[in-house]
Structure 1
Amino acid sequence: MEIHQITSARNEKVKRWRKLSTRKGREEFGSILIEGEKLLKEAVCAGWQARSVIVSDEGIQGLEHLSHLDGVSIYAVYPSIFSQLVDTQTPQGIAAEVMVPVNGAGYQIRGEKPVLLLDAIQDPGNLGAILRTAEAAGVGDVWLGAGTVDPYNPKVVRSAMGSLFRSRIRRVDLREAIPELKEQGYWVVGTNPRAERVHFDCHYPKRTAILLGNEGRGISAEIDSLVDDRVRIPMPGQVESLNVSVTAGILLFELLRQKWRET
């Protein structure tokens, strides 16, 4: 396993990796920078292709566990350079540039798995938690409407804990996507704290799409007008709302509970 040494922060590869901390850079190169041996293994096992591996002194020992990366260029950098590439306070010493798979065009759904629609979710930690919950609940597709945080933001990647690599994620215009879903037989259910029906009184068909809104304002009026039904989560306690990732978990696992009960 050959390791190439980079000693200058002005090296062109270092400049490239640094750009991956921005959405513009990620879109320019079609790749993201992930940190840690575990995330790298998760990405590769999910079929993402590694372009290069970057290690500092602390990460070189971890390379002996990455024999499955034969043919991938490995670069060693000083710890001071490595810390410029990642945004964690205690770097793990190993990172990698991996290519983002390209999803096909259109709104065609695979199978009859639930679909999750997100309208302007802005917090990276929330999106990462939602992606992990969605995978656990058996969601097939996660569609991100306008205003939703970049799913390849480093904080999203970390909080998703590997689920990002196994999720089918697509940025869409919900104004077009929701009517397309309905044409494919999907029942679109939105959340609304003033809805008449509580979530466990609703029967969810096999083809159900759950729509969640922004952390502060909820679902926009324009998008809300497109849904088939609205539900609320009963809250007898003295709180006005739940975190959107918690809401996602409650609704998606109610879908799963009903599915299991019918089988």
Structure 2
Amino acid sequence: MKRIESVNNPTVKGWKKLHTKKERDVSRSFLVEGFHLVEEALKKKEQILELIIEENTAIPRSWDISGLEVVYVTKQVMAAISDTETPQGAAAVVEHLAVSSPSNWQRLLIADAIQDPGNLGTMIRTADAAGMDGIFIGSGCVDIYNSKTVRSSQGSIFHLAHFKGEIVEHIDNFKANGISVYGTALQGGHPYQQVEPAEKFALIIGNEGKGIQPELLQQTDKNLYIPIYGKAESLNAGIAAGILLYHLRG
């Protein structure tokens, strides 16, 4: 057990740097905050590097923290490392969780250049709820370990397998394994209700403004769209993912 009082402590400075993608990539770790997210992180206890607790904050009895390095800090230190206005008094440094290959997945969501961390977090949470095997994070996406993405996932980042890579390099492998690959596009697309649920499928959700890359749309088995019955121009990417995932899995 350690105790840190100064915001200028080198360890504290290292924690603060985890709010940058560069440091998260270099250290292969990220910071989570709040009791709910820390509790979810404990389900991957072997990947927690440090558990950070504000002094005078009680650790829930239900938490299994055996074998973990627990660091107690002052209120000032917790405020200094926090990305929220009202820190809850608990945080953790966690190793990156990405898997080495998506080859055994049969139902997956593919994120193509999703820029908004809230959208990506919602997509992770939705894919988890819909029982997907994993989410493929394509190049050009916001960092999955961005604090806003992690918070928006509501802990699902610790439940749902995720892989980062070039989508175009894996589409043919998915199709060779009997996985139907669906894109999302208005032009040349089909109303999603025309497609039957499938045991194996991959759904690609594209960039909020530009949609899916044209070369990916050419690789899919079929491209789908969700009809707009009102006057809205479009649907939020996370909402669209939810509607389509639940329909495709049946």
TM-score (norm 1): 0.89
Q: How does 1:212-231 map to 2 (within 5 A)?
A: 212-231=205-224
Counting aligned pairs with the same residue, the percent is 36
Aligned 8 A contact 2:197 2:249 in 1: no
Aligned 8 A contact 1:109 1:141 in 2: no
Is 2:139 the counterpart of 1:146? yes
**SS of aligned partner of 1:62:** coil
Is 2:127 the counterpart of 1:130? no
Aligned 8 A contact 1:116 1:141 in 2: yes
Aligned residues: 250
List per-residue Cα deviations over 1:129-150 (Å, max 9, x = no partner): 1111101111112101111011
The equivalent residue for 2:196 is: 203
List per-residue Cα deviations over 1:50-99 (Å, max 9, x = no partner): 22122224xx4332536511232222222222112111011111111122
List per-residue Cα deviations over 1:151-181 (Å, max 9, x = no partner): 1110011110110001111111011011121
1:196 deviation in Å? 4.5
Aligned 8 A contact 2:29 2:94 in 1: yes
TM-score (norm 2): 0.94
The equivalent residue for 2:78 is: 82
Does 157-166 or 10-19 show the bigger shift? 10-19
Amino acid aligned to 1:235: I
Distance 1:44 1:131 in 2: 18
* Stretches of structure 2 lacking an aligned partner (at least 5 in a row): none
**SS of aligned partner of 1:63:** coil
Amino acid aligned to 2:115: Q
The equivalent residue for 2:65 is: 69
1:37 deviation in Å? 1.9
Amino acid aligned to 2:169: E
The equivalent residue for 1:261 is: none
Is 2:171 the counterpart of 1:178? yes
Is 2:17 the counterpart of 1:19? yes
List per-residue Cα deviations over 1:106-126 (Å, max 9, x = no partner): 44124x3x1111110010000
Aligned 8 A contact 2:198 2:249 in 1: no
Amino acid aligned to 1:68: D
Is 2:233 the counterpart of 1:240? yes
**SS of aligned partner of 2:190:** coil
Does 61-70 or 185-194 show the bigger shift? 61-70
* Stretches of structure 1 lacking an aligned partner (at least 5 in a row): 258-263
Q: CA RMSD in A?
A: 1.7
The equivalent residue for 1:7 is: 5
1:47 deviation in Å? 4.7
